[in-house]
Structure 1
Amino acid sequence: MNVKLLKNLAFLGLLSFSVFPSFALSKIIPDGTIPYNMGVQLKGDTDGPEDLDRVQELGMKWVRRGFIWESIEREKGVYDFSQYDRFVNDCEKRGLKIIGCMAFSNKLYGHVKDEPARSAYADFAAELVKHYKGRNIIWEIWNEPNTMTFWGRHGKVGNSPQYAREYTDLVRAAVPAMKKANPDCVILAGSVSNMWSESYKWMSYCFADGMLDIHWDIWSVHPYGVKAPEDYMEAYSHTRNLMKKAGGDTGRLWINSERGFPLGKAEGYAGGDPSLAYEYQAWHVIRQYLVDLLEGLLVTIWYEWGGKEGFALYRAGNMTPAYNACKTFVKELSGYKLDCRMKTENKRDFVLRFIDKNGNEKLVAWTAPGVMESPDKIVPHSIKIAVGDVSPRLVTTDLYGRTDIVEVSNGVIEPCLTGAPVYITLR
């Protein structure tokens, strides 16, 4: 068990030692070595061996994929896991861990907001965790249940008290069944879409309905609705305050189980000059992984690996700039752990220090726009960073692996910060 990481998370307020993680959960808590936290979303048309090979080659350690109820239980009480067995086996061969999203309702039973579908879903979830016991899978209850798109168009609009109560009832039914079938299973609840006023209300309704008293393990979020990854910091802080205000067990860990910054005008587009959309996306994928590291989240899933919605890292056989940025990230920081965020005058300037087991040190530095501002609002500027007794000339590496030199003067460097993270090798 990585006690040091657990203590760090406790210090950040992200883990309470009054509710120490189960043995099963402790097994998936990584030791903090890059790229332990990096993952991508897969779908049925991107989960084959060739795509998994590419995901592995890129250095990713996690994949998220739906385990669709209707495709497993086509006859009441009869479960066919064969198509998912292939996927799980293929991931296992490549050392990829899985976030399995248990979705959605089944026409054999109706909507899970009502009986008998709610109990049938709990039975299905129990069969899943029993069948895959001992495999590297953690299980997420639903996908974005606060939205009409994935919960269904009934009653009031999404993010309503009704939707929150229905989802909390589903979690309340599923978790005990899953833990009984496999006490070692690890369960994610929440999967909440967006971090904005209405989704905050939805989470508050869930917490008021007793969500925090149910024995799931990890809270999962999809932090859409902000303009930059750095905005997650305010969003996460606000959500933690909602949990604290509601009482109950607030000591669980978190996972960002879906977020991407697309091209063009698709939902989630961060704005700015559309001609620079590929560049902005490359900035954002790396800063998303870095900010979540800083915030203590266990895993970050980029949406998505392939697809035609404008989010893809791997597009029609071509590596996008975001893909190449990920490749550089892994090459530069593989084997390193986050040590600290260094102090800067501007709170939207970021300088993170990483150290490997041999004592080698690197910095990653960038700047972000103001809160809820688009990436074109970034103004490149130089800052002074104290680096101590190091070589008089340090190697820097840009987002795509191109190297340069920064001069050291009296133990200080003055790199120019932009929205593209730069890697600085100290020693």
Structure 2
Amino acid sequence: MKLPGIGRGTGPGAWTLAASGCILAASIALAACAEEVATAPQDVAATLAVQLTDQSLRTVRWREDLDLAVRIGASVVRVDFNWPWTETEPGRYDWSTYDALATEFSKRRLRPLFILHRPNRLHGRSLDSRDSGDQEPVVAPPRSADEITAFGRWAAAAALHFKALRPIWEIWNEPDGEGFWPPRPNPTEYTRLARATCDSIKRVVPDAFVVGPAAAEMPTVWDATKPLVNEVLRDVGLMRCLDAVSLHTHRFGQTPETVSRDYAVFRKIRAGLSAREIPIVDTEWGDSVYRSGLSEARQASWLTRMFLTNIVENIALTNWYCLVDTGDDDGEMEDRFGLVTRTGRLRPAFLAYRTLSQALRGHTLRNVIARFDPETAKGTTVLMFCRPDNACKIAAWTTEMPDEPLRFVIQGWGISGPIIGHLGQRLPSTPQDDTSATLSLSTNVQFVPIKPLSNDQNGTALRR
């Protein structure tokens, strides 16, 4: 099933060689010059999401936050859809908080990604501090048959009530962490809940788009054994119902390109379990600029590379966590993921997100001319994105700067307009000739409008 507005495209390794050639004017070997996408994916803009936390919904500025989401060019906004907020009496639902949100989503033509989660005291066992590790009593997630039925009934009612918005429904958030599945994660319990909930939603809204498990820990080259992911993939009933597997891919200081080797691990596990090959959505990826984290400049640089890496990996949706800082403590990682500070200052990453959206809105990935080595996460990446009218742009970067300037030459193409940097600034052009386009690469992405230099080039390299 295809997520409306989001295309699957083709998987890594499924590209076909294009007729255009390329020459790399540096001592870097490429496995292939150009690979043409066999079937065109969806508009890049449709894959861009950003996160609002439930804290945001309790503030007076949440409408302004939605305006910020529009300004950066996000198409989807991920936000908590909290069970205890909406079922305060058994079997009676108060949607007023989310009705107000739905109205503002509709005005701005934003699509919600609603996270169905949070334990409800009406349908869950209280855990004291000895069980939960918290100072205050907390409630366990739904475990018994009655609790699971209550959660599924509530989720189905929500899906029916908000059907017109075409939400993406995500079942729980990070159930592989104690903070969201107290007192300790239990993959079997989660899959039981997710399967029943997905089935309940699809019974009342058959075309609802449902994802899970929002895993905090995806398999990696360092640790491929992730119990939650394995349990979900081997559950035939759940995999038959879900429309996409949702993963969280925070790198915690690693370069964005390292995610490719982890996706390879995930896909190998999925193939080994003979699981259905449904799309992958990345529902949390961000980098914190807290005291021990990234600089704001690096956060911005890596944001663009992050989204583009996921596009190359055929990830149907990428959500940046999060839009606005959640706290004021510069020493706390969780407080400093925002594109915007709590005082309203726009970080460079805000400009990077907006530039990416503006540069590639209306474009789809057409050719992978070069890409970094997925195993080492190092190297040069040159991607061609085109509009339906065959107006094209290059997005290019290299992971590490060499001692001498790195130039990349694409034969048969010319630069047709200003080169735009990752923050929206104009960059100087390199000398051009009548036979090729020459790019001067850095670790920051640049967007370069290009045009074919002959009719033959237009008829072959841009052929769908």
Please tell me the TM-score bracket, short chain as reference: 0.7 to 0.9
Alignment partner, residue 293 of structure 1: 311
Pair 1:362 & 2:393 matched: yes
- Aligned partner of 2:200 among 155, 159, 177: 177
- CA distance change for structure 1 residues 88 and 5 in 2, over 3 Å: closer, same or farther? closer
Alignment partner, residue 128 of structure 2: none
Alignment partner, residue 388 of structure 1: 412
Counterpart mapping for 1:276-425 below 5 A: 277-307=295-325, 308=327, 309-315=335-341, 316-343=343-370, 348-368=379-399, 381-390=405-414, 395-403=418-426, 404-409=428-433, 411-425=435-449
Asked which structure has the greater CA Rg, the reply is 2
Please give the secondary structure, in 2, of the residue aligned with 1:335: coil
- Aligned partner of 1:228 among 239, 250, 255: 255
TM-score by length of 2: 0.77
- Mapped to 1, the partners of 2:3 and 2:118 lie a distance apart of 35
Alignment partner, residue 22 of structure 1: none
Pair 1:138 & 2:165 matched: no
**Contact 1:394 / 1:405 at 8 angstroms: preserved in 2?**
no
Please give the secondary structure, in 2, of the residue aligned with 1:317: coil
Task: Report the CA distance between 1:139 and its aligned residue.
Answer: 0.3
Alignment partner, residue 182 of structure 2: 152
Q: Which moved more, 1:130-139 or 1:110-119?
A: 110-119
AA paired with 1:218? A
- Mapped to 1, the partners of 2:412 and 2:359 lie a distance apart of 21
**Contact 1:188 / 1:220 at 8 angstroms: preserved in 2?**
yes
- Aligned partner of 2:106 among 69, 89, 92: 92
**Contact 1:222 / 1:257 at 8 angstroms: preserved in 2?**
yes
AA paired with 2:201? M
- Mapped to 1, the partners of 2:402 and 2:352 lie a distance apart of 19
- Mapped to 1, the partners of 2:91 and 2:6 lie a distance apart of 42
Counterpart mapping for 1:211-226 below 5 A: 213-225=239-251
Please give the secondary structure, in 2, of the residue aligned with 1:134: helix
Alignment partner, residue 73 of structure 1: 87
- Mapped to 2, the partners of 1:303 and 1:7 lie a distance apart of 22
- Mapped to 1, the partners of 2:4 and 2:85 lie a distance apart of 40
- CA distance change for structure 1 residues 229 and 50 in 2, over 3 Å: closer, same or farther? same
Counterpart mapping for 1:23-62 below 5 A: 32-47=42-57, 48-62=62-76
Task: Report the CA distance between 1:387 and its aligned residue.
Answer: 3.9
- Mapped to 1, the partners of 2:371 and 2:84 lie a distance apart of 52
- Mapped to 2, the partners of 1:207 and 1:335 lie a distance apart of 34
Q: Percent identity?
A: 23
- CA distance change for structure 1 residues 362 and 225 in 2, over 3 Å: closer, same or farther? closer
Alignment partner, residue 136 of structure 2: none
**Contact 1:380 / 1:418 at 8 angstroms: preserved in 2?**
no
Aligned residues: 388
TM-score by length of 1: 0.83
Alignment partner, residue 9 of structure 1: 10
Task: Report the CA distance between 1:13 and its aligned residue.
Answer: 7.3
- CA distance change for structure 1 residues 38 and 3 in 2, over 3 Å: closer, same or farther? closer
RMSD across aligned C-alpha pairs, in angstroms? 2.9
AA paired with 1:342? I
- CA distance change for structure 1 residues 199 and 320 in 2, over 3 Å: closer, same or farther? farther
Pair 1:102 & 2:116 matched: yes
Task: Report the CA distance between 1:194 and its aligned residue.
Answer: 2.8
Alignment partner, residue 156 of structure 2: 126
**Contact 1:394 / 1:406 at 8 angstroms: preserved in 2?**
no
Q: Which has the higher contact order (CA 8 A, sep 6+)?
A: 2
Task: Report the CA distance between 1:418 and its aligned residue.
Answer: 2.6
**Contact 1:119 / 1:173 at 8 angstroms: preserved in 2?**
yes
Pair 1:242 & 2:269 matched: yes
Residues 267-319 of structure 1: CA deviation (Å, up to 9, x unaligned): xx4xxxx5xx1011001211121111111122111000112311111222111
- Mapped to 2, the partners of 1:361 and 1:68 lie a distance apart of 43
- Mapped to 2, the partners of 1:217 and 1:345 lie a distance apart of 30
- CA distance change for structure 1 residues 345 and 203 in 2, over 3 Å: closer, same or farther? closer
Residues 386-409 of structure 1: CA deviation (Å, up to 9, x unaligned): 142425x86322122222212224
Please give the secondary structure, in 2, of the residue aligned with 1:84: helix
Residues 302-349 of structure 1: CA deviation (Å, up to 9, x unaligned): 000112311111222111100111222223222222112113686621
